Amino acid sequence: MTGAQIAAAVIPRRSSRSAAADRGFRFLMLGAVGAAFVGLAAIVYDFASDGLPVISWDFVTSFPSRVIPESAGIRSAILGTVYLMLICAFLVVPLGVATAVYLEEYADRRRWWNRLIEVNIQNLAAVPSVVYGILGLAFIVRGPLGMGPVLLAGAITLALLVLPVVIIVAREAIRAVPSSIREGSLALGATQWQTVWKQVLPGSIAGIATGVILALSRAIGETAPLLVVGAGVSLRFDPDGLGSSFTALPIQIFAWTQDPNREFVARAAGAIVVLMALLLVMNSIAIWLRNRYEQKW
Amino acid sequence: MRTQHASEPVVETPAPAPSPVADAIFDVRDVAVFYGPHKAVADITLRLRRNEITALIGPSGCGKSTFIRCLNRMNDLIPSARVDGKVVYHDQDLYARDVDPVQVRKRIGMVFQKPNPFPKSIYDNIAFGPRVMGMKGDMDEIVERALRRGALWDEVKDRLKTNAFGMSGGQQQRLCIARALAIEPDVLLMDEPCSALDPISTGRIEDLMMELKQDYSIVIVTHNMQQAARVSDMTAFFTVELHDEGKFRTGAVVEYGETDKIFTNPDDKRTEDYVTGKFG
Amino acid sequence: MAEPRLAAASGAQGARVDLTRAPSARSRFEGGIRIALFLAAGLSVLTTLAIVGSLLVETVRFLGTVSVGDFLFGTKWSPTFAGEQQSFGVLPLLWGTMYLSLIALAVAVPLGLLSAIYLSEYARPGVRRIVKPVLELLAGVPTIVFGYFALTFFTPEVLRDALHIEVGVFNGLAAGIIMGLLVLPTIASVAEDAMTSVPASLREGAFGLGASKLQVSLRVVFPAALSGIVAALILGASRAIGETVLILVAGGQTPNLGLDPRESFQSMAAFIAAQARGDIPVGSVEYLTIFAVGFTLFVLTLVLNFASIRLVNRFRQVYE
C-alpha cells in the first residue's frame, strides 16, 4: 500500500455532515455580509438616483422655497451646517483635549472623584442624542442661558453631544505616547506641563486631529438634537451671527422628505447627496491626516 | 531577617580626613522604598563618591533600578511609591519637604535602559533640556558642546536636523547621554545603559564613561559583571531577600567597596558566590 | 532666573545648592494649569448633573399634574388632545420603543454577529480590506438618510411592491428593519473587536486537537469573547432605543400599543422630537411631557449601560 492509502485508512475523513455544516455556515456568513453590502448599495442608489439630477449650482446657492420646488435650494442649510461645525469645533477641541490631558497626565486614579469623572464620560457617550436636545432646550434655549433657538445654542448642544467622543479619542491618542518619552523629558528637569505641552501633545496631535474630525462628522449628521433645540426650516436668509435663527442640512432634509410633493422629496435627496459628499470629504481628510502624520513609536 | 548594612568605603588618605561631605556626592542614609505596604528596597546606607564611577550589581529584581531612581526623585512618578530616609546631596536632603524635584533633576541626570530619544531632530533633542530650563547662551554652541562631550559630534554634525529615530541604537543612546549632559548636571545616573546595545556600541559607551568621570560623578546599574569590573571604581552588590515564605521580595545591599576588592576578595560569601558566577 | 551653576567637581566643597521649591511664577503657573484642567474635566460632570437635574425637576413637576400610576401604567398616550380625550399613559410609547428595537435587533444581531465571525475568523486580508470599510461607511450614514430610505424606497418598493405586504405609509416594519441595518455595523464592529482579541494560542490549541474551523469559531472563540459580544449587543440595543429621526420619519407619529408591525408606531425619542417642534407654551403639561418621557428614556439607557458594564466584568475571562 502506498503511504497515502495507509494514511487514508488511519486518519478519518471529515464526515460529510461536518463539511455540509461548514458550507452552510459559510453561506450564512456571506449572506450576512452581503446583506450589509446590498443595504448600503440600496441606500446610496436611492438617494443618488433621485438626488443627483437635482444638483446644480443654483441648488447649492439658492434659498429654500416652501412653494416652488424647482427653485428651492440649500444655501441656508449648508451655511448653517458649516457654521455649526466650526463653532462646535471651537468649543469642543480645547475642552475635550484639556479633559483628556487631565485624566491621562494629572489625575490620580486612586481618588474617587477622578474615577467618577471617567465613569461619567463613558455614560455620557451612551446617552441618546435627543436627550442632549432636551438639555439644550432646557438650559440654553430657555432656562438659565435663555438665548432662544439660535445658532450658538445649536452649536453648544452639538458640542456637548460630541464632547465625550472627543475626550475618549484624545485619551487614546495621548496614551499612545510611550511613557519612556515622558520619563526622558522629566529626567531632564522639565516640569509636568512642559512635558505635556512639548512632548506629549505634539506626539499625539495627529491622532487627536483625526478623532476630532470624525467626531465633527458625526455631529453634522445629527438631526434630533437640532430638532428639539428649535432649528428653523426653509429659512430664506444667511445666518448672521451667533444669535441668528439657523437651519442645517439634516433639518432641511427632514422637512423635505415629509413633504407630500414629490418634487420636494427629490430635493431632499439632493440635499442628502451634498451632505454625504461633505462627510466623505471630512472622513478622507481624517484618514489622510492619520496616514501622513501619525507618529510611529 | 535583618539586613546587613553596607560596609563603609575605606578612605585611604594619609592626611587628616577632609570634611566627610567633600568626598561624597551622595550621602545615602537608611533609604527604603515602599510600593504601598510592601517594602521593595530595604534600608540602604552608603556614600557614593564624587568623580568616580559606582556600579550597582546584583541579580534581577533586587532593587538596583528602584534605588538609583531615588537619587533623582524619579520614584515620585509612581503614585504608590514612598521613599523613607535621606539622600544628602550638596548638604541638602533631596527628600526634604521643600525640595523641588524639577530642580533636582536639572542637576542629576539620567540615562535609561532603552534609548528614548524624542521624535524630533538630533538638534532639538539636545536643545530640549537647555530650552526648557532657560539656559543662557548660543544654542548652537550648547548643542555642539554636548554632542562633543557625548562622543557623537563627528558622526552627526552634518545631519543635526535629521530625525533622531533614524539613528542606530548605539548612537541613540549616546544621543541620550549627550542630551543629559547638555543641561550641565554634575551627576549622571545610568540604568543599564548598554543592555539593549551590541558589544561594539557598549564598548564605545564604556570608553565614554571613563572620559566623563573626570567631570561628572557616575552611578551605573548593570547586569554585566565584566562591565562593572572594567569601568567602575566602587561597586555595591545587591541581593534580594524573601520574606513571609517568599511572598515578598525586598532588595538590600550586601556589600559595598572598592571594585577590585569586591571582585577579588569580597567580605561576604554571597558577594563571592555572585561574582564568581556560582549564582545569578 | 539664572540657575546657580555648580563648579566642576574639582572645586566646590559642599557648596550649598538651592533646590527648594520657591514660590516662583513657574510653580504658580503649573498649579494653575492643573486647576484649569481639572475644571475642564469637571464640565463633563456638570453636563450630567444638568441633564439629570433638568429631567428630574420637570418630571416631578409633571407628576404634580399627572399621577405616577396614570403615567407608567396608562395605555393611552394622547397629550395633545383636549379635555376628556387627553391621556398620559406612556405604555404605548414604551412599547413602540421596545417593539421597534426588537425588530431592529432581530435583523441586526444575526447579521451583525455573522459578519463579525466572518471578519474575525474567516476573511482573507484582501476581503477584510473591502468589507470593513463598507461597514464603516454604513456606520457613518446619518440616521436621517436611513429615514429617507425607509420612507421613500423600502416601504413602497420593497414592502408593498416586491413583497406585497399591506403596510401603511408609516409602519413599524420598515422603521424596525431599517433600524436594524443602522445598528448592524455597531454590533459587528464591537463583536469583531472582541473576537480578534481572543489570543491566537486558544485557537491554535483547538486546531491542534483536530477541531474544524467552524467548531473553533463557535465553540472556542465565540464563548471566549462573550463579554465583548454581550457588550456589543447591549450597545446596539441602546442605539436602537435612542434612535429618533428614523422612527419619526418612517414610523409615523401614532402611539400604538398593538402588535401589528404594518401599522404606524411612535417611540419615546420620536415623540420628544415631534412634541418639541410643536407650538406649546412653556410650563404647560404638554411641554412637561417632553421631560417626563425624556427622563424615562434616559433611565432606560442608563440601566442598559450599567448592565453592560456589569455583564462585561462578570463574564470576563482573564488570559494573562
Is residue B76 within 8 A of residue B236, CB to CB? The reply is: no
pLDDT digits (tens, 9 = 90+) for B195-229: 999 999 999 999 999 999 999 999 999 999 999 99
pLDDT digits (tens, 9 = 90+) for B111-169: 999 999 999 999 999 999 999 999 989 999 999 999 999 999 999 999 999 999 999 99
Domain membership of residue B6 (yes or no) is no
Picking from A97, C69, C7, A25, the residue whose alpha carbon sits closest to that of residue B216 is C7
Residue B247 identity (one-letter amino acid): K
Q: Determine the structural domain holding residue B149 and report its residue range.
A: 24-61+79-275
Burial of C30 (0-12, 13-18, 19+ CB in 10 A): middle
Is residue B266, in this structure, part of any structural domain at all? yes
B127 touches A at CB < 8 Å: no
pLDDT in tens, A26-35: 999 999 999 9
Cβ count near C58 (within 10 Å): 21
Contact list, B79 vs chain A (CB under 8 Å): 108-110
Axis-axis angle for helices C226-242, C172-196 (nearest 10)? 150
pLDDT at position B3 is: 41
- Say if the Cβ atoms of B128 and A185 lie within 8 Å: yes
Distance, in angstroms, between C206 CA and closest chain A CA?
Answer: 16
Percent of chain A at pLDDT > 70 equals 95
Q: Phi/psi of residue A107, each to 5°?
A: -75, 135
Q: Do B102 and A190 touch (CB under 8 A)?
A: yes
Q: State the residue for C-alpha cell 529584581.
A: B61
End-to-end CA, chain A: 58
CB contact under 8 A, B72 and A180: no
- C-alpha cell at position C274: 415631534
The contacts of residue C136 (CB under 8 Å, 6+ apart) are C185, C189
pLDDT at C5: 40
Phi then psi dihedrals of residue B220, to 5 deg: -130, 130
Q: What is the pLDDT of residue C315?
A: 61
Q: What DSSP line would sit under chain C, residue for residue?
A: ----PPPPTTT-SS-----B----HHHHHHHHHHHHHHHHHHHHHHHHHHHHHHHHHHHHHHHHHS-HHHHHH---EETTS-GGG-EE--HHHHHHHHHHHHHHHHHHHHHHHHHHHIIIII--HHHHHHHHHHHHHHHHS-HHHHHHHIIIIIIIIIIIIIT-----SS-HHHHHHHHHHHHHHHHHHHHHHHHHTS-HHHHHHHHHTT--HHHIIIIIIHHHTHHHHHHHHHHHHHHHHH--HHHHHHT-S----SS-TTS----HHHHHHHHHHS---TTSHHHHHHHHHHHHHHHHHHHHHHHHHHHHHHHPPP--
User: Dihedral of the CA atoms B56, B58, B62, B65 (nearest 10)?
Assistant: 30
Distance CA C226, CA C152 (A): 38
pLDDT of residue A6: 67
Selected for mutation to probe chain A from C144, C170, C190 (highest A CB count within 10 Å) is C144
Query: If we measure between CA atoms, which residue out of B268, B241, B222, B181 comes closest to residue B32?
Result: B241
* Consecutive H or E run containing B44: strand B38-49
pLDDT reported for residue B206: 95
How many structural domains is chain B composed of?
1
**Helix (H) / strand (E) containing A95:** helix A75-101
Strand partners, B188: B109, B218
In a domain, residue B12? The reply is: no
Is residue B19 assigned to a domain?
Answer: no
Query: Nearest CA of chain C to the CA of A15: how many Å?
Result: 11
- What cell numbers appear for A23 in the block? 458550507
**Grid coordinates belonging to A281:** 470629504
Task: Please say if the pLDDT value at position C2 is more than 70.
Answer: no
The angle subtended at Cα B29 by Cα B28 and Cα B35, nearest 5°, is 90
How far apart are the CA of B278 and the nearest CA of chain C, in angstroms? 33
Looking at residue A197, what DSSP letter applies?
A: I
pLDDT computed for residue C184 by the predictor: 97
Q: Low-confidence residues of chain A, pLDDT below 50?
A: none
> For residue B211, is it within any domain?
yes
Please give the average per-residue pLDDT across C152-166, as a whole number.
91
Return the residue matching grid coordinates 520657591: C22
CA C105-C303-C103 angle, 5° bins: 15
Residue A27: the pLDDT is 94
Going along chain C from its start, the domains and CATH numbers come out as: 93-282+301-315 (1.10.3720.10)
In the prediction, which pLDDT does B248 show? 77
Helices marked H in chain B:
20-23, 64-70, 101-107, 122-133, 139-149, 153-156, 169-182, 199-212, 225-231, 259-264, 269-275
A70 or C172, greater pLDDT: C172
What mean pLDDT do residues C74-80 have? 88
Which chain C residue has the Cα nearest residue A136?
Answer: C51
The DSSP bridge pattern shows strands B234-243 and B53-57 to be parallel
C-alpha cell at A197: 505641552
Predicted structure pTM score: 0.88
Q: Is B25 helix (H, G, I), strand (E, B) or coil?
A: strand
Residue B9 lies in a domain: no
Confidence of residue B180 (pLDDT cuts 50, 70, 90): very high
Q: Do A133 and C273 touch (CB under 8 A)?
A: yes
- Does the residue B4 lie in any domain? no
Residue C44 near residue A164, CB atoms below 8 Å: yes
Strand duo B81-89 + B217-221: pairing: unpaired
Strands (E), B50-101: 53-57, 81-89, 92-93
> How far lies B271's CA from each of B44, B58, B252, C209, in Å?
16, 9, 12, 50
A-chain CB neighbours of B102 within 8 Å are 189-191
Tell me, what CATH number does B117's domain have? 3.40.50.300
As a whole number of angstroms, the distance between CA C59 and CA C291 comes to 6
Enumerate residues 6+ apart whose C-beta is below 8 A from B54: B48, B217, B218, B219, B220, B232, B233, B234, B235, B236
Distance from CA of A194 to the nearest CA of C (A): 9
